[in-house]
Amino acid sequence: MTPEVTPLAELTFGEALGELEGIVRALESGELELEESLERYERGVALLRACRERLAGAEQRVTMLIGEIESDEDGPAAQAGTGGTGDE
């Protein structure tokens, strides 16, 4: 009997990655039956896809935040602070 699996949306990134690593170890061991190997491989593909999507989302957020920081630095308040007071 196959153990119950947690839906991907309920897993944290770390949990998904840990489960994926476990699947890779199990597949590499060569001790699984064909059917079990296929089930685990399918779950691994789904986990990999979910991890990649989360990483892409995180990358977009970081890029957006960097853009906000850069625009704040280039904005009027930052330019007003360059009046040559020597405090910089």
Helix (H, G, I), strand (E, B) or coil at 19: helix
From first to last of its 88 residues, the chain has per-residue pLDDT tens of 456 889 999 999 999 999 999 999 999 999 999 999 999 999 999 999 999 999 999 999 999 999 999 888 887 655 555 555 555 4
Structural domain includes residue 80: no
CATH, residue 19: 1.10.287.1040
Structural domain includes residue 40: yes
The domain tally of the chain equals 1
Read off the pTM.
Answer: 0.73
Structural domain includes residue 30: yes
DSSP notation for 31-88: -S-HHHHHHHHHHHHHHHHHHHHHHHHHHHHHHHHHHHHHHHHHSHHHHHT-SS-S--
Residues 6+ apart with CB under 8 A from 43: 5, 19, 23
Structural domain includes residue 2: no
Structural domain includes residue 3: no
Query: What residues make up the domain containing 25?
Result: 8-73
Structural domain includes residue 47: yes
